[in-house]
Amino acid sequence: MKSVYLDNAATTKLDKKILKTMQPYFKEFYGNPSSVHIKGQETKKAIENARKIIADSMNVKPEEIYFTSGGTESNNWAVKGLFFQNFPKKNHLIISKIEHDCILNAAKWIETKGGKVTYLDVNSEGFINLDQLKKSITEKTFLVSIMQANNEIGTIQNLEEIGKICKEKNVLFHTDAAQSYTKIPLDAKKMNLNLITINSHKIYGPKGVGALFIKEGTKIEALIHGGGHERNLRSGTENVYGIVGFGKAVELSKKIDYKKISKLRDKLLEEILKNLSETKLNGPKGEKRLPNNVNIIFKNCEGEALGAYLENKGIYVSTGSACMSNTNAQSHVLKAIKIPGKDQDSSIRFTLGKETTEKEIQYVLKILPEIVEKMRRINGLK
């Protein structure tokens, strides 16, 4: 088998249909959307079409969608923009201990500027405690930010319940939906969401483009100033072909069979746990887990080495968040769910995609035990 790509949480392959949709905007439709002439109006129309597609997918208005350079910018804008808007009257942020690093580092940054942050605990499967959330909200809280689904262990939080609490307490609610968007239901009204982060390259669209939903009436400071693009809140000439590709990715996402993907996910995790000793699933099973995510501890196997052995066999996986792969830091997510340090280093994340086949999963299930047993023999443990 040529190769098996199981790192779709890090990024997805650009869909050929999406590339084809984007191509005219590289050469034929090249006008600046701010220009009043026909060349500008052509590209402006394309942007507004994508904006509507994305808005409809979350049950919001097109004018509540603001395009950005990606999930990291959107998350920073949500946290810092609201902090600047509310400080010093309100300076308290609530997040979970398993948020993406861009949320955690934005939170650490506001702490240096006079902000206060509550880091909610999670249980062994990665779920926050709703009672702890309720008790943590004060009159100084300007935002609760809880990711819809975790990028490492796939845990899906109960946004409807969190949204109810935030509404009762009259506090703004933001979710980072970068990993979950289009994979599971996301309805801003049902979930009482004021802000939502999404991006393109996790759903077979181009890199370098994302969006932030900001509910009408939500006051937020701009972080990027310039010519007043995106209704004076996010300046900079729009990434037209990226936005067009993002819209097409959302449109095509309706055709992805996530029931099929979740069946392959379950086959992979169940066979590994059944046939390989000293293995443990990180995160929950079933519907409370992202349909494409498997994260497993292979005891007495160093994760990076296991990943390298798998790569030699044409299988591409990761040891956790791609955004942290350049550092030697252990996973803050696995630490938060109380996984011992040694086992943290033995974890592998497999994330399936729309092109993943049963044949590929069978190949992984054939190769993986051979490698794990070999590594354990080398380590003198089997």
Give the burial string for 315-340 (b: 16+ CB within 10 Å, else e).
bebbbbbeebeeeeebbbbbebbebe
State the number of CA atoms in the 13 A half-sphere of 273 facing the CB. Answer: 13
At 7 the pLDDT is 99
Domain definitions of the chain by residue range: 4-12+256-378, 16-253
- The residues, ordered by sequence, that sit 6+ positions from 276 with a Cβ below 8 Å of its Cβ are 298, 368, 369, 372
Q: Which pLDDT value is given to residue 330?
A: 86
- Cβ distance 235 to 1 under 8 Å? no
Consecutive H or E run containing 311: helix 303-312
Between CA 266 and CA 312 the distance in angstroms is 25
341: exposed, middle or buried (Cβ count in 10 Å: 0-12, 13-18, 19+): exposed
Q: Cα separation of 70 and 199, whole Å?
A: 5
Residue from 102, 166, 301, 323 carrying the catalytic annotation: 323
**Is the domain covering 16-253 a CATH 3.40.640.10 domain?**
yes
pLDDT value at residue 327: 57
Distance CA 79, CA 59 (A): 23
Q: How many CB atoms lie within 10 A of CB 308?
A: 11
* Bridging pattern class, strands 195-199 and 173-176: parallel
Q: Which amino acid is at 13?
A: K
Mean pLDDT by runs of 10 across the 382 residues of the chain is 94 99 97 97 98 99 99 99 98 99 99 99 99 99 99 99 99 99 99 99 99 99 97 97 99 98 98 97 98 98 96 94 60 97 95 98 98 90 56
Is 102 catalytic? The answer is: no
**How many CB atoms lie under 10 A from the CB of residue 131?**
9
Fold classification of 4-12+256-378 is Aspartate Aminotransferase, domain 1 (3.90.1150)
DSSP string, 216-281: TT-----SS-SS-HHHHTS-S---HHHHHHHHHHHHHHTT--HHHHHHHHHHHHHHHHHHSSSEEE
